[in-house]
Structure 1
Amino acid sequence: SCKSFQDGMALVQTEQGYGYINLQGEEVIALQYVWASDFYDGTAYVLEEQNGPVWLINTKGDKVRKMADQPGDSYKSNAYCLRISQDVMLPSGIGENVDRYYDKTGEISMEQGKLLFSLSEGLCSVLDEKTQKYGYVDKTGKMVISPVFDEAERFQDGYAVVKVQDQYGIVKNPLLQK
């Protein structure tokens, strides 16, 4: 498989593993990983071996920082953070899924991770508990679009679908306006 180009490289997967190609289709980082993310702002998350550490690498394939030593059952990332999920058995004998979140500096709180993982184009819809309306916050949690919507979808290509009463509309992402 081959994903979209990010930072001039595309994540590819073959039977050998995950690696990266450039715009000319040339392999620039060998197919050596059991899991890897897209590049964002010059870095990507990679897993060299099952149950091994997760690393942050640069576009040359150099290891920048060890992110996590603990293995996970699944790995997902976006432009803002990495989520490692693991099934654990509680003392009661009940299994539970536990998520750990990381940004490029290391482990972050679950609350911050959930926010960052929900961002689309730098914003995330959130429900205001007081008004029971949706608005949009940025990656710091600062309200950017006031909570006035009954429904608020993710941003895509600069716009998001919103609903007020029975009327649907579109809002423009103010972070992308110049």
Structure 2
Amino acid sequence: MASVTAVVAILAALTVSAGPDRSGPLFPVRQGGKWGFIDRTGEVVIAPRFDAADRFSDGLAAVRKCAQLGYADGRGEVVLVPAFEPVEPGLHRRFSDGLAAVKTNGRIGFMDRAGKLAIAPRYLRVEDFSEGLALACSEAGCGFLRKDGTYFGSDMYMGGTSFRNGFASIWLAMGMNLKRTVFVTGELKVLPGEYEGSGDYAEGLAPVRHRDAWGYVDAAGTPVIANRFAEAGSFSEGLAPVTVQETRRCGYVDRTGKLAIPPRFASCRPFSGGLARVDLAENPATDAEQVAFVNHAGDVVIRGDAARPPFTAADDFADGLAAVGAGGPPAFADDVVALGYIDTSGRYVWRPTH
């Protein structure tokens, strides 16, 4: 990251009017109580002037300036101020597949990038669109919306997940430690097989829970890795995080179910950008999280407590950077956690700031 003097010079050179639009991902940062955006090198692209901001999605970022809630483009200009309420207080939802969820009169629908209603507000809760479909729930149950507003659902469906890699989960029952889930294809066909819990399909496999243990099934629902884990996550880059029953420690299995990285972490996340986030705490019940990142060999290559300044929490890597927090988990809103970014070498491109 540039020195403080260099950053001040960069900010002074940027005016309140929008600067040139930059290609590549932009990342929200907070400085002096205001939010702006940097590029992957840590250079300020949009000077901090918003009271709250979110990541870019579909070319727009949800922002707040004073009482105005809207969306900014890559130059930092507010190009859309919806005439609808946000689904949750604070900021509008991100755009996904060209649509964003909005609320009016207590009901949720979707607007397009012009700010016009594309799907009428009829629902009590929705997930964002993914792969052309969005989970939507009303008093009559849950189901999936297509982008043209047509709906597939049932009063038997109590919830579900967004589509990932051609599949989503539907919950048939919940409560009293009971959960029944099934998988739905992108053609909205229910696959055979019911589970006590399930995760996302990735690389052709999905984690499922049966008789209080987790394993993996393929795209046809056929078991391929036996249910023997206390927890299991989705595959990424050929490996999946699992927690073994005996020690409750987390490691990584390959597609055959063999432990490729021994279970020695308090928790672990899927790989992203060649690295996976883990917790090195010896006793997670009493010890604070010791956030770190490991490579495919299981070697610890980045430690939060070894960074200068140290960070105590982190997100997974996305677009080449990982958001890190000093004093709490990183968040993109008007919070008080110091937010920074590191690259895959562990170098700060933006040191944590408020």
Confirm or deny a common fold (TM above 0.5). Answer: yes
Contact 2:109–2:119 (CA under 8 A) maintained in structure 1: yes
RMSD: 4.0
Which structure is higher in strand share? 1
Count of residues in Structure 1 that have an aligned counterpart in Structure 2: 160
**In 2: Cα distance, 1:24 partner to 1:133 partner:** 49
Contact 1:136–1:147 (CA under 8 A) maintained in structure 2: yes
Tell me the equivalent position of 2:195: 110
Tell me the equivalent position of 1:125: 241
**Counterpart check, 1:81 vs 2:169:** yes
Contact 1:127–1:134 (CA under 8 A) maintained in structure 2: yes
What TM-score comes out, normalization by structure 2 length?
0.36
Q: CA 1:146–1:130 in structure 2 vs 1: closer, same or farther (change >3 Å)?
A: farther
Following superposition of structure 1 onto structure 2, how do residues 1-178 of structure 1 map, counting pairs within 5 Å? 1=87, 2-47=92-137, 49-50=138-139, 52-63=140-151, 65-66=152-153, 68-70=154-156, 72=158, 75=159, 77-79=161-163, 80-83=168-171, 86-87=174-175, 96-105=176-185, 106=190, 108-111=193-196, 113=198, 115=207, 119=233, 125-129=241-245, 133-136=249-252, 146-155=261-270, 158=273, 159-163=275-279, 169-171=292-294
Contact 1:10–1:22 (CA under 8 A) maintained in structure 2: yes
**In 2: Cα distance, 1:7 partner to 1:121 partner:** 24
Larger-Rg structure: 2
Secondary structure of residue in 1 paired with 2:130: coil
Contact 1:154–1:161 (CA under 8 A) maintained in structure 2: yes
Secondary structure of residue in 2 paired with 1:39: coil
Q: CA 1:85–1:38 in structure 2 vs 1: closer, same or farther (change >3 Å)?
A: farther
Q: CA 1:165–1:28 in structure 2 vs 1: closer, same or farther (change >3 Å)?
A: closer
Deviations 1:35-76 (A, max 9, x none): 3222111111223x41x242222111123x43x43264xx35
Structure 2 unaligned spans of 5+: 1-86, 200-206, 210-231, 283-289, 297-317, 320-354
Structure 1 unaligned spans of 5+: 88-95
Identity rate of aligned residues, in percent? 22
